[in-house]
Amino acid sequence: MYARRRHAYFFLMGACLTLFISAWAFVRLWSVPAAVAMCIVAMVIPPLAAIVANRRGPEDRWWDESGDEESDRWWRELDEHNHRH
């Protein structure tokens, strides 16, 4: 799951860079308003990429691993019980 989120993050950031660079390298020669619009779209992508990269998957367990052996044992038992049903 982590690899999928990482790939999505790099794809989105690559799209952001591509939009920004192409807007001012090529598109501005034909249409400045289109280049500005492309930059506005590129501006929205990084926060979305951060949200995608940090989204918790259903099998991620990082939010309740406390280091307390008793608590972690209880969570493992609960997970095993839920997977049997």
Residues 40 and 77 in one domain: no
Residues 60-83 pLDDT 10s: 666 556 667 777 788 778 877 766
**Number of independent structural domains in the chain:** 2
42 alpha-carbon distance from chain centroid: 15
Residues 19 and 41 in one domain: yes
Residues 26-61 pLDDT 10s: 999 999 999 999 999 999 999 999 998 888 776 666
- Number of Cα atoms under 13 Å in the Cβ half of residue 79: 12
Residues spanned by the domain of 27: 2-54
Residues 36 and 65 in one domain: no
pTM for the full model?
0.64
Residues 44 and 67 in one domain: no
Residues 7-18 pLDDT 10s: 999 999 999 999
Residues 50 and 18 in one domain: yes
